[in-house]
Structure 1
């Protein structure tokens, strides 16, 4: 790598300014908050009206924004698998290895999310006394092979679309006639709409466990393709179906908030609403006066800078807007912080042995942007640039391209670790004017050099997914590459 080393004190502050987790442990007479974490599938800011979307109204999501904090600078990863594993582990894809999308139920290859080889931070919430629940989409384990996969990563209760299980046509359905996995096994629900099943499961869980602190993870199947009609609306074209699905997403958000109210849980429930990546590229929306093509699978702002709303009525002042930097590694560390178990000496030895990249933003919620521990955030990964080798699933690139940004500027790094593009995303949010060859102000030069310096501290080669092989199955994809030799 031909990167200048800049070891001045200011750069070191920039690099290591993230510090230890915020100290926000609940007092002895205060129950830790319930946590409802809503993760929509494939939806960018251009489809949330409180962020400036002009082709849709999302009144319930907008009300959630009004009740708490609307964050502007939150990075996901560009696609399903890297985003979801990053959330579960608090690690960047270059560390946990799931850099690329790998659809475990469909492709198998003995791959799976292995709780013995990766951090499972939900387990720490359960050990802290939380009742835990997940409903919706998973796709990083095959429940035919590992029916206890969700319990092993920390969930007491679950109701999941299985993912498209190779060889089982019915399992392709997540919307109408959905194929759903629970403790009773997997089956189709003829005539039902999958999002309704997942919503009702969560509401029942809230009613049945309200005497305990609860962590509810709701990785929605909405608004991912296939684009479908909903119980409320029918449309004849894909854009119309997409809009119907967004409106149904908004409706479910309102129903969940109402359920919290009805059960006396709202005041002490932290609600986080976000999305796993940008909108599918076949859909274009109008956003702050601009036509925005869906950014899924890209590291454009439309692909990774997600809507991110946090409401906690008893604790967070309403109607706030924040420019604090957050990325998906930070989510579980923040939940653990608010639960009072932010310190590794309270964790299992397995979890404590792992590096956690994420930094708690709990103080930002309670004290404001000036309490942020973040100087930069990162997005990387996505696409199907992985193959099965004789040694397991491997990523194509030894060092995957990535983007880093600070409060104002965004730096693209290519797969050789070299700077590629540089944008002022405050004044140029649609990334039209590359400034890499125009570092003609101290502000630009300092930001460019500081972000470039961060890259020096990343591993020189990304990890591949870490797991002990599951048993070989008839539906596994074939080995198509020789370990190590095919990498770029």
Structure 2
């Protein structure tokens, strides 16, 4: 007979153990639900801080150390006279038309003139119709680097961090705003990572064009044309790059910095916790700059001039100033005690440091005996934005960064080349970023690429008075938002709102009167130019997935009214 084990009697203590286990499980589930609820409730905070936390883990920053700049060979002095000119392009970031005193007075009345920037115009040319390549940074810089409309190679939009896109609509959920931010989250999720978006490596940069003439090319500062190894400056023709990896001018708690936070701006609230203080050299590890970022880049630019004085060099000094986050050095802030508004004082302090930078670069050229054989160009990537809450930055023009009104694309544009450009020249014809590459290539005696269209023109014959520049259409494109300027007329058209603006700039330079209904023939002519332009362009390399409403005449902190003019920026 098979042995059957006795059934174990069920005691009360077993019931108690089961109940205890059940309570533990229920408590764990409850804690998990509460935790998930807390995470969901605070998802904006988590997403807002996540980029910074990830950056700290992936890219730990080393203490500051010297940059090992490559030293040029010591050529005999008699050969210096026959070498091609050095070329320095200084690009500010988000600098408004009214921030430079040589144009409309700027802030000289507040004790913040820009004498060093102005000196370039006094010793050379002031372009009175100088335009950026776009109303936003990446596209504008791509135009500068290639001499081509960036739409030709699919760069239509500025790369946006996925974390920012994911929280964008929620960040802008203020019920007091008349027009919402529109985000296609599906497109945002499918788009490549922020670092992978940028200018195709097949594009030929200024540095690559100058290589054939023996130039040593150096990039310092902002790039924003891609962060993968193949897209970085040192893989795009530059021999060296001191690469701005993040966006703080100094750590937020540094005793030598004054911060101005714009709580009314959701993007500003995103930047502060996520930006870091770090640079890298030629793709190496991140390390901290030695001082306030604008001064640090300037200090290193001076070293580049010193180490390359015996060979032709191209220096692209791409400052972060005066882009947000607004941070001023203590030195500059303390020099402006009469400015009582804190935000304006910080901003003007940043302009002061930018002007000092230009002065030190020019002084270094003089010290090394290079000023007579160096082309210096100064400009900004686009106009100043409305989200810093300062109404006069683009005065007297309407519009801001992220718009194609004059305030978004009319920028300071100055250049000098002693012995070639007559001091005090004021050039009236429209020029833009696409003209820089063909102009400096001509000055250097370098050939332009023949396997692709170059949209810019060589300005030297016009600046020297040998030829008169012919009128040509200039085009700016941002998805469905486009602008063409031709023969004194300017057309702005957009789908959101579905509207067209037509201005006769010769009689209405401030774009006050929309005459679109009065000149149908002119409208048709300009529309045809855009249709022809669009027919030549490929699809963008990555899609737009976020659309920002921008008031044409108001800063972000000013109350919007239903009859205010506005447009949407596609990105």
Work out whether the TM-score is over 0.5: yes
Secondary structure, aligned partner of 2:369: coil
Q: For residues 225 and 119 of structure 2, what CA distance do their matches in structure 1 show?
A: 33
Per the TM alignment, residue 140 of structure 1 is displaced from its structure 2 partner at its CA by 2.4
Q: 1:31 aligns with which of 52, 63, 83?
A: 83
Aligned residue for 1:228? 327
Per the TM alignment, residue 425 of structure 1 is displaced from its structure 2 partner at its CA by 2.0
Residues 1:424 and 2:481 are matched in the alignment: no
The within-5 A match list for 1:372-451 is: 372-381=469-478, 397=479, 400-414=480-494, 420-439=500-519, 448=523, 450-451=525-526
Q: For residues 439 and 309 of structure 2, what CA distance do their matches in structure 1 show?
A: 22
Residues 1:269 and 2:407 are matched in the alignment: no
Structure-2 change in CA distance of 1:120 and 1:191 (3 Å): closer
8 Å Cα contact 1:105/1:164 also seen in 2: no
Per the TM alignment, residue 310 of structure 1 is displaced from its structure 2 partner at its CA by 0.9
Secondary structure, aligned partner of 2:456: coil
**Partner deviation per Cα, 1:104-126 (whole Å, 9 max, x = no partner):** 79872572445543233421112
Aligned residue for 2:390? 284
Pick which of 180-189 and 57-66 moved more: 180-189
Q: For residues 263 and 271 of structure 1, what CA distance do their matches in structure 2 show?
A: 15
Aligned residue for 2:451? 353
Structure-2 change in CA distance of 1:291 and 1:405 (3 Å): closer
Q: For residues 38 and 138 of structure 1, what CA distance do their matches in structure 2 show?
A: 13
Q: For residues 343 and 117 of structure 1, what CA distance do their matches in structure 2 show?
A: 15
Aligned residue for 1:244? 349
Residues 1:126 and 2:178 are matched in the alignment: no
Aligned residue for 2:461? 363
8 Å Cα contact 1:283/1:293 also seen in 2: no
Residues 1:156 and 2:239 are matched in the alignment: yes
Structure-2 change in CA distance of 1:191 and 1:181 (3 Å): closer
Secondary structure, aligned partner of 2:138: helix
Aligned residue for 1:45? 97
- Give the number of equivalent residue pairs: 406
**Partner deviation per Cα, 1:463-488 (whole Å, 9 max, x = no partner):** 34559xxxxxxxxxxx99xxxxxx99
8 Å Cα contact 1:44/1:278 also seen in 2: yes
Per the TM alignment, residue 164 of structure 1 is displaced from its structure 2 partner at its CA by 6.0
Q: For residues 117 and 487 of structure 2, what CA distance do their matches in structure 1 show?
A: 25
Aligned residue for 1:65? 121
**Partner deviation per Cα, 1:394-438 (whole Å, 9 max, x = no partner):** xxx4xx32112135221123359x982210223322211011112
TM-score w.r.t. the length of structure 2 is: 0.64
Structure-2 change in CA distance of 1:78 and 1:270 (3 Å): same
Pick which of 44-53 and 334-343 moved more: 334-343
**Partner deviation per Cα, 1:201-227 (whole Å, 9 max, x = no partner):** 211111111222111111111000001
Residues 1:215 and 2:314 are matched in the alignment: yes
Per the TM alignment, residue 65 of structure 1 is displaced from its structure 2 partner at its CA by 1.1
Aligned residue for 1:94? 151
Aligned residue for 1:17? none
Residues 1:459 and 2:558 are matched in the alignment: no
Q: For residues 137 and 509 of structure 2, what CA distance do their matches in structure 1 show?
A: 24
Structure-2 change in CA distance of 1:332 and 1:103 (3 Å): farther
Q: Which has the larger radius of gyration?
A: 2
Structure-2 change in CA distance of 1:29 and 1:62 (3 Å): closer
Secondary structure, aligned partner of 2:300: helix
Q: What RMSD over aligned residues (CA atoms) do the two structures have, in Å?
A: 3.5
**Partner deviation per Cα, 1:257-277 (whole Å, 9 max, x = no partner):** 111111111111111110000
8 Å Cα contact 1:105/1:162 also seen in 2: no
Aligned residue for 1:326? 431
**Partner deviation per Cα, 1:59-103 (whole Å, 9 max, x = no partner):** 111111111110011221000111011111222132122211104
Structure 1 regions of 5+ residues with no counterpart? 1-27, 345-351, 382-396, 468-478, 481-486
Per the TM alignment, residue 312 of structure 1 is displaced from its structure 2 partner at its CA by 0.8
Per the TM alignment, residue 297 of structure 1 is displaced from its structure 2 partner at its CA by 0.8
Structure-2 change in CA distance of 1:193 and 1:317 (3 Å): same
Structure-2 change in CA distance of 1:48 and 1:114 (3 Å): closer
Per the TM alignment, residue 246 of structure 1 is displaced from its structure 2 partner at its CA by 0.8
Per the TM alignment, residue 163 of structure 1 is displaced from its structure 2 partner at its CA by 3.4
8 Å Cα contact 2:92/2:318 also seen in 1: yes
Higher RCO (CA-CA < 8 Å; seq separation 6+): 1
Q: For residues 502 and 151 of structure 2, what CA distance do their matches in structure 1 show?
A: 21
The within-5 A match list for 1:331-346 is: 331-344=436-449
**Partner deviation per Cα, 1:339-394 (whole Å, 9 max, x = no partner):** 112343xxxxxxx42222222212122227x522442222233xxxxxxxxxxxxx
8 Å Cα contact 2:136/2:158 also seen in 1: yes
Q: For residues 104 and 177 of structure 1, what CA distance do their matches in structure 2 show?
A: 15
Q: For residues 136 and 528 of structure 2, what CA distance do their matches in structure 1 show?
A: 26
Per the TM alignment, residue 186 of structure 1 is displaced from its structure 2 partner at its CA by 3.2
